[in-house]
């Protein structure tokens, strides 16, 4: 923890190299995209995309699950999506799954999650993956990529998303990030496959 505190303590000195960029942030934000990804510490959206402060609105959930719209409980995830789309007017939403994802791995392997009931209940929000999903290999790439596509389908059911998709003001993107190589693959709808960006 100490090195994290030390780094945060000296952050103002480092930001002093770009004072005008920082001072503009006081006027508000106008991010280019909403980036939805897993809470996993190995996935750093700004590091992957090179986004500067103010450029990326983020939603991070265990397993980058997008819950059903109008589910039974108030959802911070839905509020974040709605705010990004309706208020900030982001032009793009990226759902980025990642290799070696513990959440998706738990789902495809049917792990016993009784010791972590909140995790079990949260993963219960996810659309079940097809029984024939390939969960072999430590990176569980196929399962995560299928899972990403399910989250995109969920997003399309959000009224604010559906409206903007219909009028061409919003695009959805499915990405898959390899934590062990740094490679980013993107879903190509026409071929229905993930290939390098």
Return residues touching Zn ion (CB under 5 A): 38, 40, 101, 103
HSE (side-chain half, CA atoms, 13 Å) at 167: 8
Q: Which is nearer to Zn ion, 38 or 123 (CB)?
A: 38
Closest approach of Cβ 186 to Zn ion, in Å?
A: 18
Give bridge partners of residue 153 from the DSSP assignment: none
Closest approach of Cβ 80 to Zn ion, in Å?
A: 18
Give the residue from 176, 168, 131 showing the smallest Cα distance to 151: 176
Strands 56-61 and 33-38, bridge-based pairing: parallel
Closest approach of Cβ 101 to Zn ion, in Å?
A: 3
Q: Which is nearer to Zn ion, 40 or 77 (CB)?
A: 40
Give the residue from 165, 152, 52, 180 showing the smallest Cα distance to 96: 152
Closest approach of Cβ 124 to Zn ion, in Å?
A: 16
Q: Which is nearer to Zn ion, 99 or 164 (CB)?
A: 99
Closest approach of Cβ 148 to Zn ion, in Å?
A: 11
- To which H or E segment does residue 79 belong? helix 76-82
Q: Which is nearer to Zn ion, 15 or 183 (CB)?
A: 183
Q: Which is nearer to Zn ion, 78 or 101 (CB)?
A: 101
Cα dihedral 44/47/52/57 (nearest 10): -30
Q: Which is nearer to Zn ion, 103 or 172 (CB)?
A: 103
58: alpha, beta or left, given left = phi > 0 and alpha = psi -120 to 50?
Answer: beta
Closest approach of Cβ 63 to Zn ion, in Å?
A: 5
DSSP string, 89-117: --SEEEEEEETT-HHHHHHHHT---TT-H
């Amino acid at each position: 923890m100490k090195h994290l505190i030390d780094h945060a303590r000296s952050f103002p000195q480092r930001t002093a190299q770009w004072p005008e960029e920082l001072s503009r942030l006081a006027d508000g934000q106008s991010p280019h995209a909403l980036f939805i990804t897993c809470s996993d510490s190995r996935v750093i959206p700004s590091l992957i995309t090179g986004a500067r402060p103010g450029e990326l609105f983020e939603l991070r959930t265990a397993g980058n699950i997008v819950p059903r719209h109008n589910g039974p409980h108030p959802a911070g995830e839905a509020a974040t999506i709605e705010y990004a789309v309706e208020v900030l007017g982001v032009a793009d939403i990226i759902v980025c799954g990642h290799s070696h994802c513990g959440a998706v791995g738990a789902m495809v392997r049917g792990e016993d999650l009784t010791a972590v009931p909140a995790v079990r209940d949260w993963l219960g929000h996810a659309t079940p993956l097809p029984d024939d999903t390939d969960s072999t290999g430590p990176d569980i790439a196929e399962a995560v990529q299928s899972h990403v596509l399910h989250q995109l389908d969920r997003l399309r059911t959000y009224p604010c998303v559906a409206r903007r998709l219909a009028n061409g003001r919003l695009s959805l993107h499915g990405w898959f990030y390899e934590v062990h190589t740094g490679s980013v693959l993107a879903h190509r709808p026409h071929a229905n496959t993930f290939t390098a960006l």
